[in-house]
Structures are given as structure tokens and as C-alpha cells.
Amino acid sequence: MGVFRSVARPVILAAGRQDGLRRAAERLPVTREVVHRFVPGESVADVMDSVEQLRNSHRLVSIDYLGEDVTDRETAEATVAAYLQLIEAFSTRGEAAAGVRPLEVSIKLSALGQALPRDGEKIALENARAICEPAQRAGVWVTVDAEDHTTTDSTLSVVRELRVDFDWVGTVLQAYLKRTHADCQDFAAPPGATSGRGARIRLCKGAYEEPASVAHRDSAAITDSYLRCLTVLMAGSSYPMVASHDPEIISAVPALARENGCGVDDFEYQMLYGIRDGEQRRLADEGNNVRVYVPFGTQWYGYFVRRLAERPANLTFFLRALAERRR
Ligand SMILES: Cc1cc2nc3c(=O)[nH]c(=O)nc-3n(C[C@H](O)[C@H](O)[C@H](O)COP(=O)(O)OP(=O)(O)OC[C@H]3O[C@@H](n4cnc5c(N)ncnc54)[C@H](O)[C@@H]3O)c2cc1C
């Protein structure tokens, strides 16, 4: 796993940024079959089937319309339109709730225009607002995903702006970044803070290839940072969203919650669609809030490559499927 992390992972993640490879992969039917394990479909109708199944097994959902690194305004607007269609489909389920909201959308600011020249951040903020307004009416939460570290300052600044009008907007912090412990302190509103209630924070390890100058790169150091950040979130008045499949992290949660007086509705577990389904069900059956992150859409390449980079077995499975198809 050490060699995989230090040698193969950077190469796989670099492939995730290659446009030519993306176009080739998206055309291969076999890729689509393997991708299906992580991405249940391309349309709102496909994803609503998954929502139905997950809700029937008492799991909560967060839906991501796939797309990132958008370079023109029209594509960013098309992304907003896709979210509006999704929120409309959510409204028909009549699941609005006052406390923990069962339905959530996850958005990436780079898909909403953040990287556009000149006014990118402002355009992304306006587009995010256009999603938050109908989400508020529909009783749907919005959480802003974290991308590579060059976008963190801009993303957190947009999140702070959004939270002025929509204090339920959440965001993602990545435990591998050295800055994240301080960001958790900022967003968690520690006991005695005068800055109001803490934010909903999804804490994950982080999925991008980052330099040692800004990020922990060793898996033990990342897990250690994760647990220290989670302790800050649990101690404050934030709503921590424990986004991890790692047994070491999941098994540490009950004691941390107990020590900080957190009941089951004061935090939630989150996992990705298609990963550790049995563990998701076990946690939900024990009465915990478990949210499943479900991506959909045609732009699955970047997301899929990050899943391959997380686990040697996924890559082996993918290569084997390709080889079998060639025979
Ligand atoms: C709900 C959610 C939202 C996320 N949002 C973001 C985000 O906005 N930005 C970001 O940078 N990252 C995001 N991530 C990804 C995250 O940063 C990690 O890359 C990913 O979750 C793997 O880390 P882990 O904590 O599961 O631990 P790991 O140490 O990677 O994995 C622990 C165990 O989980 C299982 N597992 C983990 N990954 C896989 C996989 N791909 N396939 C099969 N089994 C696997 C394996 O059993 C593995 O041994 C998100 C993750 C989740 C769960």
C-alpha cells in the first residue's frame, strides 16, 4: 500500500487531469460497466431510483451532479440547471425536515465557474446562490465539496458568503491539509465562542495529489490529523459529517461523541455510493444517521479516477475487466 500511495497514486491522479484520456475512457463501454459500481447513472431519473433504494434502507443521501474544472460560462449555467431539476425531483418526494435533512446536494465550485478568468469566484458564488434558494424552499441541504488546495481559500470565502443568507450551508475540509486543524477551529465555533452556531462540516481525508509543503502524505499522519480535526468539530457546536470508510476512524466515533455529549442527531456518518455498503447498512440499522454520496451524470471520469487511486484492488478490478473484454 505504501508503494501504491507513493508511486502509482500520483500517476493515476495525473491521468485524471488528461483530457485525451478522459475522452477515450468515456467512449469505452467496458469502462461504463465498471464505472457503474461508483456512479449509478447519467440522468436525474437514474439517480432518483438510487435515492429510493437508499431511503428504503434508512440511509440519507447527498447527490453530486458530476462535472469539474468548467472553463466556460454556459457549462456552468447548465450545471445549475441540472441541480434545479434535481431539487425539483426532490420536492416531489415531500421529505423536507426541520432537523437533519434526509436530502442534500453536493456542489463543486469549479463546476459553477470558479476558475473562469476575472470574475470566476463571483460567478461561482452567484451560481451557488441560485442553487441554495430553491434548496431552502425544498428543505434540501447544500454542501460545498473541497477540491485541490489551490482553491481552498476561494472556496471557504464563498462558503462564508453563502452562510450569511443560508446558515445551513455546509462545506468539506480535508484532513490531509496542514491548514485544516485551524479551519476546523474556525468553523466549529468552540465552546464559549460568540460567533454563533458552528457550520455543518464534512471531514474527509482528501482525494487529490498534494505537495508535502501543504499536506500530510503518510497515511498514519493523515489518520492522526483526521482524528484531531474530528475532536475539534465534536467539541464545538458544528454538525460534523464523518466522511470516511476507514474502520480506524469509524470505530473512534462513538467514544468521541460520548465524551463531547453528542447525540445521534448531532453528527452523521458519510460514505460513497458503492463502497462498504454492508458497513453503511450496519451503522444505519444501529440508529445512526448515515448519508451516502451519490454522483450522477456523464462527466464521471475525474471522480472515477480518484476512486481508482484510493485502492489498488479497484485498479486491478478495472484492468482485469479491460483485459477480459480484449480476449
Ligand atoms: C461522503 C464523502 C464525500 C467526500 N467528499 C470529498 C471532497 O469534497 N473532497 C475530497 O478531496 N475528497 C472527498 N472525499 C474522498 C475522501 O477524501 C477520501 O479520498 C476517500 O473517502 C477515501 O478515504 P477513507 O477515509 O475512506 O480512507 P482510506 O484509508 O482511503 O480507506 C479505508 C478503507 O475504506 C475502503 N475504501 C476506501 N476507498 C475506497 C474505494 N475507492 N474503493 C473501495 N474501497 C474503498 C477500503 O476498505 C479501505 O481500506 C469524500 C469522501 C466521502 C466518503
- pLDDT one-digit tens code per residue, 167-208: 999 999 999 999 999 999 999 975 555 556 789 999 999 999
pLDDT in tens, 146-170: 999 999 999 999 999 999 999 999 9
Residue scoring higher pLDDT (268 or 98):
268
Q: What one-character DSSP code corresponds to residue 145?
A: P
Separation of alpha carbons 58 and 46, rounded Å = 19
Distance from residue 293's CA to the centre of ligand 1 (Å): 11
Q: Where are the alpha helices (DSSP H) in the chain?
A: 2-3, 9-15, 19-27, 29-35, 44-56, 73-91, 120-138, 152-165, 180-188, 219-235, 247-259, 277-285, 301-310, 312-326
Do 173 and 310 belong together in one domain? no
Residue nearest to atom 43 of ligand 1 (CA): 275
Q: Which residues are near ligand 1 (CB < 6 Å)?
A: 145-146, 172, 174, 202, 204-208, 243-246, 270-272, 275-276, 293, 307, 310-311, 314
Ligand 1 atom nearest to 271, measured from its CA: 53
Do 99 and 110 belong together in one domain? yes
Q: What one-character DSSP code corresponds to residue 177?
A: B
CB-CB contact of 242 with 267 (8 Å): yes
Task: Please say if the pLDDT value at position 28 is more than 80.
Answer: no
Cell of 40: 449509478
Do 13 and 44 belong together in one domain? no
CB-CB contact of 111 with 76 (8 Å): yes
Mean pLDDT across 69-95? 94
Distance from residue 240's CA to the centre of ligand 1 (Å): 16
Do 268 and 128 belong together in one domain? yes
Which single residue is written with the C-alpha cell 474527509? 204
pLDDT for 35? 85
Do 90 and 77 belong together in one domain? yes
Residue nearest to atom 3 of ligand 1 (CA): 243
The CATH number that applies at residue 135 is: 3.20.20.220
236 closest CA partner among 205, 265, 267: 267
pTM for the full model?
0.93
Separation of alpha carbons 111 and 79, rounded Å = 7
pLDDT for 96? 76
Ligand 1 atom nearest to 62, measured from its CA: 1
Distance from residue 78's CA to the centre of ligand 1 (Å): 28
Distance from residue 71's CA to the centre of ligand 1 (Å): 27
Per-residue pLDDT band at 282 (split at 50, 70, 90): very high
Report, as residue numbers or ranges, the catalytic residues.
145, 202
Pocket residue to mutate for ligand 1, from 60, 246, 307, 318, most atoms within 8 A of Cβ? 246
Percent of the chain with pLDDT over 90: 72
Residue scoring higher pLDDT (305 or 192):
305
pLDDT for 49? 95
Q: What angle do CA 112, 118, 119 make, to 5 degrees?
A: 45
* Annotated binding-site positions: 108, 174, 205-207, 244-245, 306-307
Mean pLDDT across 15-40? 74
Domain count, the chain: 2
Pocket residue to mutate for ligand 1, from 143, 208, 272, most atoms within 8 A of Cβ? 272
Residue nearest to atom 17 of ligand 1 (CA): 206
pLDDT in tens, 233-273: 999 989 999 999 999 999 999 999 999 999 999 999 999 99
pLDDT for 4? 65
Separation of alpha carbons 227 and 249, rounded Å = 7
Q: Domain limits at 30? A: 1-39+302-326
Per-residue pLDDT band at 214 (split at 50, 70, 90): very high
Task: Please say if the pLDDT value at position 6 is more than 80.
Answer: no
pLDDT for 68? 87
pLDDT in tens, 51-80: 999 999 999 999 999 988 899 999 999 999
Task: Please say if the pLDDT value at position 143 is more than 70.
Answer: yes
Mean pLDDT across 34-49? 91
Separation of alpha carbons 158 and 307, rounded Å = 27
Q: What one-character DSSP code corresponds to residue 265?
A: G
Q: What does pLDDT average to over the chain?
A: 90
Ligand 1 atom nearest to 106, measured from its CA: 8
Do 22 and 160 belong together in one domain? no
Task: Please say if the pLDDT value at position 327 is more than 70.
Answer: no
Do 95 and 114 belong together in one domain? yes
DSSP 3-state of 240 = strand
pLDDT for 325? 57
Which single residue is written with the C-alpha cell 485502492? 311
Do 16 and 44 belong together in one domain? no
Distance from residue 310's CA to the centre of ligand 1 (Å): 7
224 Cβ contact partners less than 8 Å away, ≥ 6 residues apart: none
Do 115 and 168 belong together in one domain? yes
Q: Is 278 exposed, middle or buried (0-12, 13-18, 19+ CB in 10 A)?
A: exposed
Pocket residue to mutate for ligand 1, from 106, 311, 318, most atoms within 8 A of Cβ? 311
Do 101 and 118 belong together in one domain? yes
* Annotated binding-site positions for substrate: 108, 306-307
